Amino acid sequence: MRALCWEGADALAVRQVPDPELRNAHDMIVRVRRSATCGADLPLVEGRLPLLAAGDVLGHEFLGEVAEVGPEVRGHRVGDRVVVSAAVAGGSCWYCRQGLHSCCDNSGTAPAVTESAWGQPTGGCYGHPRAAGGFAGSHAEYVRVPYADVGAFTVPDPVSDDRAVFASDAAPAGWMGAELGEVRPGDVVAVWGAGAVGQLTAQAARLLGADRVIVIDRHPERLRMAERHTGAETLNFELTDVPAELRERSGGRGPDVCVEAAGGAADGAGPPSLAARFTGRRGPAEDPLAVREAVHACRKGGTVFVSGTFTGFVDTFPLGAVMNKGLTLRSARQHGQRWIPMLLDRMARDELRTEHLATHRLPLEQAPAGYALFRDRTDGCVRAVFTPDG
Ligand SMILES: [Zn+2]
């Protein structure tokens, strides 16, 4: 089959690779119909995480049709249209039973790496370094789906492929930021980043009853899209003193909930944060620019939720502000299995609309160009979505 392979730093190629095969009784094989780019891929593509091997297949946000099922798969049949959580989870360990599927004890196939880096092993993810499970990615004609009854969900008929593909990763990540950030009716919520996760956080915050939602970015077309599709207010951080403006829009206190949805993709072209003013540093990989600003802007006693992807160590982190302002700081990789059925229901009822985020639909052969569009945000690209089945 054909697949998008990582060939080295900033080198991607669509190549012929072996077809995936069933490896155990709970596996199934999915023929991929949609597979989307994600900001979490960029450090991998750039080779900033020295954990990929040449030939690894990228991609983790996907939807497709069941092509083959293992003998123990109960909930799926050949031909079913399914969306699959980007997080691989076994479903039976203590963490999975708490709904913390991305923390699964059993789905990481190289636990020594995450255990040594983070203290405990975490769960797997498609298309990620061997450290996160080594499961081949979805930018391919076919993908092996382990724990099929846990991670794959049948898509209701009325929901289009272009809408449902976001239930794999961006929509649960967005929902998680709002729900675990403890958005309550009447809250003012600020979201850093107007990419797919940021926009879906804004939609989730509104569905959870937030009074005002303010999305912060510097790309005018993304901000316009967020206004049009999420009903959020927006701020361009290149033109605005963000913490001052957020105080102004929240009764002088600051937002109740601040969600960071930029991660390693956050860039430092805006006004320097307070910490950057002290240190003169801004913008290298894993500099938590937006996290810092969220911590500074958040009202005392509020919650900061970090949705953006970080993998290593960050410095210039304002722990003093977290402590002295009484903030709650939370974060997670998305626990898709916990929210996908609810999100698909909302998609079927038209409460949650996501298809506008698929700004560029491309055949798999053009995936390397799709990543360049996505990385540079060329032509208003929010997500490039590949269609391996033509
Ligand atoms: Zn588990």
CA–centroid distance, residue 122 to ligand 1 (Å) = 9
pLDDT tens-place string over residues 99-143:
999 999 999 877 887 888 889 989 999 997 665 557 999 999 999
pLDDT confidence of residue 237: 93
Which residues neighbour 116 within 8 Å (Cβ) at sequence distance 6 or greater?
none
User: At 276, is the pLDDT very low, low, confident or very high (cuts 50, 70, 90)?
Assistant: very low
pLDDT tens-place string over residues 48-89:
766 678 889 999 999 999 999 999 999 999 999 999 999 999
CA–centroid distance, residue 99 to ligand 1 (Å) = 9
CA–centroid distance, residue 377 to ligand 1 (Å) = 36
What is the separation of C-alpha 251 from the centre of its chain, rounded to a whole number of angstroms? 31
CA-CA-CA-CA torsion sign (331, 237, 235, 319)? positive
CA–centroid distance, residue 25 to ligand 1 (Å) = 17
CA distance 64 to 388: 10
Q: List the one residue out of 245, 333, 346 whose CA is nearest residue 296.
A: 245
CA–centroid distance, residue 138 to ligand 1 (Å) = 21
CA–centroid distance, residue 335 to ligand 1 (Å) = 11
pTM, entire model: 0.92
Q: Left (φ > 0), alpha (ψ -120 to 50) or beta: where does 91 sit?
A: left
pLDDT confidence of residue 132: 52
CA–centroid distance, residue 54 to ligand 1 (Å) = 29
CA–centroid distance, residue 236 to ligand 1 (Å) = 40
Q: Are strands 257-260 and 188-192 parallel, antiparallel or unpaired?
A: parallel
CA–centroid distance, residue 132 to ligand 1 (Å) = 14
CA–centroid distance, residue 115 to ligand 1 (Å) = 16
CA–centroid distance, residue 101 to ligand 1 (Å) = 6
CA–centroid distance, residue 341 to ligand 1 (Å) = 18
**Token pair belonging to 105:** 């004890």
pLDDT tens-place string over residues 317-339:
899 999 999 999 999 999 999 99
Q: Which helix (H) or strand (E) holds 331?
A: strand 328-331
**Token pair belonging to 205:** 């915050």
pLDDT confidence of residue 133: 55
CA–centroid distance, residue 199 to ligand 1 (Å) = 29
pLDDT tens-place string over residues 332-372:
999 999 999 999 999 999 999 999 999 999 999 999 999 99
CA–centroid distance, residue 334 to ligand 1 (Å) = 14
CA–centroid distance, residue 311 to ligand 1 (Å) = 21
Q: List the one residue out of 171, 135, 160, 67 whose CA is nearest residue 389.
A: 67
